[in-house]
């Protein structure tokens, strides 16, 4: 957890990233004013973009290529072929013989589902109460929620493990999932989202005799769907990608999550890069597909500070 934790007050719309430069662009191009893109500049831009694209994407493609190479293709050659000569999926089957990779994937899914569910419910309820209901101790609670943000997660990770162990949850998936099941940052982000709903709407509901539950479900929820998507997506990614915490909690190889299992594979059978490559792809591809289909939420999430690193 961390990174942009503290920017919860920064709720700029996605349009900041997606639309603004574009609008100016259009107006300027029509005027034919300064800095309009000439063919030379455009070519230079695309050349640079392709160069950076190669740097970012080639390592992934190289891994994908390695995962598809058969046993008779020399992956250690000094100038190996970039494209598999005889592409095969057998490494994906063989990695499952070496480590229970599908069980690990399932374990990661279980952890992610608990974390996503916990945050969607817990952060929404608390965010609403802190934003819109008055109660004793609300100020103090808010201060405590905020103050957790200055602590990098690694600082408390040891005593968090002691706590989880004390609950008898060491070496269990529940132990991995539980501490992150309600993220303090997510509570604050949801609070900010509820605060953005016009007060008058809420007051009208109060005058009509609506209970807090009715206000939350009928008025609140429809208006915070954007932020709710952001926190659930980032909760999923955070849980799926997490390494240090499950590495500390889990002991028995049959309970490993995907990240811990992959490191285990790397340590035990480092001889065959094809299998490791297949394993990394099993972990990477679902996240990439999720990212590609929901990318507008990601960029909004960064703008809002919902990132966990």
Partner 1 sequence: MTAPVLPAQGALRRRITPWLLVAPAALWLFVFNVWPSLNTLVLAFTNAKPLSGGHFTGLDNFGRMLDDDQLVDALLNSVVFMLVCLPVLTLLPLLLAVLVEKKIPGITFFRTAFYTPVVASAVVVALIWSWLLSDRGLVNGLAQAMGVLQGPLPFLTDRWLLVLSAITLTVWKGLGYYMIIYLSALGNVRRDLHEAAAVDGAGAVRRFWSVTVPGVRNTMLLVSVLVAVSALRVFSELFVLSNGTGGPGGRAMSLVMLIQLYSRGFYGHFGYASALSILLFVITIGPMLLLTRLSRKAA
Considering only residues 122 through 151, tell me which ones interact with partner 1, judged by CB under 8 A: 122-123, 125-126, 128-130, 133-135, 138, 141, 144-145, 148-151
Radius of gyration over alpha carbons of the chain, in Å?
24
Q: Is 179 in the site for partner 1 (CB under 8 A)?
A: yes
Given 30, 40, 72, 77, the residue binding partner 1 (CB under 8 A) = 77
Q: Site mask, partner 1, residues 276-295, x = CB under 8 A?
A: xx-xx--xx--xx-xxx--x
Does residue 81 touch partner 1 according to CB under 8 A? no
- In the list 92, 104, 194, 240, the residue contacting partner 1 (rule: CB under 8 A) is 240
Task: List phi, psi (to 5°) of 178.
Answer: -60, -50
Least distance in angstroms from the C-beta of 270 to partner 1: 7
Binding status of residue 35 toward partner 1 by CB under 8 A: yes
CA separation for the pair 78, 205 (Å, rounded): 71
Instruction: Please answer whether residues 230 and 297 qualify as being in contact, where contact means their C-beta atoms are separated by less than 8 angstroms.
Output: yes
Region 39-58 residues binding partner 1, contact defined as CB under 8 A: 42, 45-46, 48-49, 52-53, 55-57
CA–CA distances in Å: residue 242 to residues 118, 229, 256, 276, 292: 17, 20, 12, 18, 20
Instruction: List the x/- string, 183-202, binding to partner 1 by CB under 8 A.
Output: -x--x---------------
Burial of 70 (0-12, 13-18, 19+ CB in 10 A): middle
CA pair distance 83, 66, nearest whole angstrom: 9
Nearest approach, Cβ of residue 160 and partner 1 (Å)? 5
Tokens 């008025």 sit at which residue?
Answer: 219
Burial (CB count within 10 angstroms: exposed 0-12, middle 13-18, buried 19+), residue 79: exposed
Tokens of 167: 């609950």
Q: Which residues in 212-231 contact partner 1 (CB under 8 A)?
A: 212-213, 216
| Minimum CB distance to partner 1, residue 25 (Å) | 5
C-beta of 62 vs 102, nearer to partner 1? 62
Question: Does 160 engage in binding with partner 1 (CB under 8 A)?
Answer: yes
Can residue 162 be called a binding residue for partner 1 (CB under 8 A)?
yes
Length of the chain measured in residues: 309
């Amino acid at each position: 957890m961390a990174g942009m934790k503290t920017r919860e007050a920064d709720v700029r719309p996605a349009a900041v990233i997606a639309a603004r430069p574009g609008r100016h662009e259009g107006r300027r191009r029509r005027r034919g004013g300064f800095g309009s893109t000439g063919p030379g500049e455009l070519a230079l831009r695309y050349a640079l973009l392709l160069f950076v694209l190669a740097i970012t994407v080639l390592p992934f493609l190289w891994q994908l290529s390695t995962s598809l190479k058969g046993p008779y293709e020399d992956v250690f050659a000094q100038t190996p072929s970039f494209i598999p000569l005889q592409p095969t999926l057998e490494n994906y089957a063989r990695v499952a013989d070496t480590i229970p990779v599908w069980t690990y994937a399932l374990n990661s899914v279980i952890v992610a589902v608990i974390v996503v569910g916990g945050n969607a419910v817990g952060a929404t309820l608390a965010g609403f109460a802190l934003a819109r209901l008055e109660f004793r101790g609300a100020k103090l609670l808010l201060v405590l929620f905020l103050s957790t943000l200055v602590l990098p997660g690694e600082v408390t990770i040891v005593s968090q493990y002691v706590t989880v162990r004390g609950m008898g949850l060491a070496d269990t998936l529940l132990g991995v999932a539980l501490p992150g099941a309600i993220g303090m940052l997510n509570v604050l982000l949801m609070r900010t989202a509820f605060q953005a709903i016009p007060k008058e709407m809420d007051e009208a509901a109060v005058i009509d005799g609506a209970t807090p539950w009715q206000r939350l479900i009928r008025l609140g929820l429809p208006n915070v769907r954007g932020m709710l998507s952001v926190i659930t997506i980032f909760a999923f990614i955070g849980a799926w990608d997490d390494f240090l915490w499950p590495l500390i909690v889990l002991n028995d190889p049959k309970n490993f999550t995907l990240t811990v299992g992959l490191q285990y594979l790397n340590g035990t059978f480092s001889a065959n890069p094809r299998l490791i490559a297949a394993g990394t792809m099993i972990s990477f591809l679902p996240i990439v597909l999720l990212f590609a289909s929901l990318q507008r939420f990601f960029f909004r999430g960064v703008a809002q500070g919902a990132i966990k690193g």
